[in-house]
Amino acid sequence: MKKLIIIKYGELTTKKENINLFINTLKQNISKKLINYKIFINYDKGRMFIKGEEEDFKTIIKELQEVFGIHEIIIGYELDTLEYEKIEKQLVDLLKDKVFKTFKIETKRSNKKINLTSVEISSKIGSYLLKNISNIKVDVHNPELLINLELRNKESYIYFEKIKGLGGYPVGTLGKGILMLSGGIDSPVAGYMTIKRGVKIEALYFESPPHTSQEAKNKVISLAKILSKYNNEIKLHVINFTEIQESIYKNIPHEYLITIMRRMMYRIAEIIAGHENAKIIINGESIGQVASQTLTSMVAINEVVKIPVIRPLACFDKLEIINISKRINAYETSILPYEDCCTIFVPDHPVINPNTKTCHEYEELILFKDLIYKAIKNHEIIKINNQEKNKYKDIL
């Protein structure tokens, strides 16, 4: 009998035509996540099985709880047999250190050549337990111990508890997107939610030194690092936005500062997306949260790009966003008080209903195309890996 980790895919199994892509990607993502452990993974269409050192299981499960595409994580036991007598004996052995008065057995058999039905197997093995363990009885409605039994090709599996996985799709199965990542609360949450749907993200941060500090940039790097746990790794593009921002500030009426600035950000994000083969831009905008997020503002800003802009938080209240931010341990970092490039140039009265034609007129006042290309040409790329160390690196 071998102790192992069993993974159930959940929502994946509904993707009939893509199932192989989904499962292969999940396997690769798990292998990357568990690069520091000695493990062996095998799988079929219904389950993935991870064998490794038992003392690592606790930390391996923690890591697996950060992998999208996993519905349930189970610590189970593999038996090299389908013979009921052997299964019964092993099960009694396993139950020796469990305290329970009532139980129920749930059986699944993927091997339809087995002579008994699932219900018949449960009742046969249940009777054996009743004869061999004293003071227990069956309770099918509210058992203290649920015994799961799965009979597959040549092996059977026994397990008792299931740990909830994150759900979603394996990252990478739905292509790539560029996340506009500021140091705030919203954009990391927007990134997390997009990764959940299987989209691999690259992050894009606009800095304005010396108006924004190295601390502000470090904060964004920390947030990208948090997201990299779910994304395998993250490529962070850092655009120096100072010249563009100063040029807007000097030449354009201040009530339009934010609108024009955001139009520039979108343009840059679209160009980076094109180079990186990303199909969407993602950001943390939420309807009505600030002046630049009224519907009219969104129209005026969105107008400059053709690429779809996904706003996972569009309809979320701030409190709902904060709850997710806390859950993914981003909140404490997000609230560190470092200035953002937008907040520095915030006008007293930003326009709430910007006019698109006015935006065009104002943009004529600056040579924005040259500035944009210059910023992109000189931009910095920071590669963030979620694995600090690979203990096999020294050996290889």
Positions in the binding site for Mg ion (CB under 5 A): 182, 184, 340
Rounded to whole angstroms, how far apart are CA atoms 319 and 333? 17
Of the listed pieces 87-95, 160-168, 169-177, 286-294, which binds ligand ATP according to CB under 6 A?
286-294
Please, are residues 111 and 68 in contact by the beta-carbon 8 Å criterion? Answer: no
Does residue 333 bind ligand ATP (CB under 6 A)?
Answer: no
How far is CA 290 from each of CA 258, 285, 355, rounded to the nearest angstrom? Answer: 11, 9, 17
Binds ligand ATP by CB under 6 A, chosen from 22, 68, 205, 362: 205
Q: How far is CA 44 from CA 9, 27, 80, 110, 113, in A?
A: 11, 11, 17, 11, 18
CA angle 318, 321, 326 (to 5 degrees): 125
**Partner from Mg ion, ligand ATP, none binding residue 185, C-beta < 5-8 Å depending on class:** ligand ATP
316 is a site residue for ligand ATP (CB under 6 A): no
- Closer residue to ligand ATP (CB): 149 or 278: 278
Q: Collapsing DSSP states into helix, strand and coil, what is residue 98? A: coil
Tokens of 129: 């337990």
Name the CA dihedral angle for 382, 314, 278, 184, rounded to a multiple of 10 degrees. 0
Q: Nearest approach, Cβ of 203 to ligand ATP (angstroms)? A: 8
Site membership for ligand ATP, residue 285 (CB under 6 A): yes
CB of 291 to ligand ATP, least distance (A): 8
CB of 378 to ligand ATP, least distance (A): 16
340 binds ligand ATP (CB under 6 A): yes
Helix, strand, or coil (residue 19): helix
Q: Does residue 230 interact with ligand ATP by CB under 6 A? A: no
Residue sitting closest to ligand ATP (CB): 184
Applying CB under 6 A, the span of 99-107, 122-130, 247-255, 338-346 interacting with ligand ATP comes to 338-346
Report the C-alpha gap between 165 and 148 in whole angstroms.
Answer: 18
Residues that bind ligand ATP (CB under 6 A): 180-182, 184-187, 204-206, 283-285, 289-290, 292, 340-342
